[in-house]
A and B are shown apart, each in its own frame.
Chain A
């Protein structure tokens, strides 16, 4: 009887000892998690995002731009599927008046040379002379909503080809000579209030257009007349309305929402 009691005692002791050891580890793990979270939340910010998260976003960009393919197309719809009441979301860079008749697109062929010298001005008429491309696709806002919309304009790659833009040599872009292509294109509204940066593969994607029509009619002012970007491989924030300046660079151009803590790439 006493033997059993003592072995019972030993057993309980053993259980307690083993438990304590495991639970010590368990509480260490909890402390590690809490401390890790606190550490993360107290990191300095880089472009509006906590630095480790910014690093992660940039790494994600590398991964997902690495698997980006021109042959992956955003699904398109028949024109009858397009909504008639197209959502207007934000008017950054469009608060001032604009003389659309006098408007010309300013293109900086090489923004990496200072002072900026090599520029071209292109009128809407010249742009409209190029073959028209239409795209009906599900426009996706970074907020989470989407809408099937119908846009018309000039394929950006056709535009670059015609005006010999986006290359360091000044020749038309050549798919087999990627070193000649700039890494980025930057766009700005005429007042400079809104601006986006876009990687070259995305802006040269076959569905990216310089858009001057919506639902088969001239682009309305609140949708970015006279010319806006439609780039189905990106969230809506990159579809800059009322383009004033287009420039090419090897370094990432400033980006409005990137500075507010969003991902630079914003690719879909």
Chain B
């Protein structure tokens, strides 16, 4: 039997989808700013493996000579990014959603199993919870990264008035580097996120738009049963 089951509250769907275009504008305007002093590379000694960013990349995205516009966009959309993030954190704290999101004590071990499963190295299925441990770590981590972006951003934006913050973060140059690394982190998160959404399929994606999922009770029981047997077998083997 199939049934409809509530998954994502309306508020969380709004926060998620507002964040998507806003973060996009923050990263794009950030690139417009970064271009004016694009000093970061991946290198070992004198050997440069990658330059952030190649000229073709800038040209394709029409980035050069738009510093003023980049700053204007960045320092407007930063408010929406901040307020939306703050509202999300307050909502999850008050509504109790945090219980699904915060990793538990055995999260690392479980996340490792999920990783092995997702890389097709293990057949043991992730537990049937709203979020498995890998998701919990990712979704909690991204919030910590968001806080990090706000703090490092403020340290670069107002390094005199917030001199203590800039100092804690290792000084002006370091804070700028940290702000940049966090942004690269978002891009990597985004890539994995999209990959996982595609892999998990329509039912899962639909839930972040509609709020509900179709649950197949037969399959659910089957999975639990099969997992249960597998666990028994593995225990007996020990």
Contact = CB atoms under 8 A, between A and B. Distances in A.
Provide the main secondary structure of the chain A interface.
mixed
Contacts of B214: 15
Interface residues of A, number: 46
A268 B33 contact: no
Which of A53, A68, A142, A233 is the most central at the interface, judged by chain B CB atoms within 10 Å of its CB?
Answer: A53
A232 B212 CA distance: 55
A163 interface: no
B200 interface: no
A5 interface: no
Contact of B68 (A26, A49, A60): A49
Contacts of B211: 22
Nearest to A60: B75
A14 interface: yes
Contact of B163 (A50, A54, A60, A72): A72
Contacts of A54: 72
Contacts of A73: 160, 163
A90 interface: no
Interface residues of B, number: 38
A18 B212 contact: yes
Given A144-B36, A261-B72, A263-B71, A14 B161 contact: no
Provide the main secondary structure of the chain B interface.
helix
Interface string B133-166: 0000000000000000000000001111111001
B173 interface: yes
B69 A49 contact: yes
A69 to B, nearest CB: 7
A186 B17 CA distance: 45
Contacts of B173: 146
B71 A262 contact: yes
B159 A140 contact: yes
A256 B182 CA distance: 33
Contacts of B17: 26, 29
Nearest to B36: A143
Contacts of A75: 163, 166-167
A138 B161 contact: no
Interface of B: 2, 4, 17, 21, 25, 33-34, 36-37, 39, 67-69, 71-73, 75-76, 79, 157-163, 166-167, 171-173, 176, 206, 209-212, 214
Given A15-B214, A37-B21, 10 more contacts: A22-B210, A33-B21, A52-B76, A53-B73, A73-B163, A75-B163, A144-B34, A262-B71, A267-B160, A268-B159
Interface of A: 8, 11, 14-15, 18-19, 22-23, 26, 29, 33, 37, 48-50, 52-54, 56-57, 60, 64, 67-69, 72-75, 138, 140-146, 232-233, 257, 260-263, 267-268
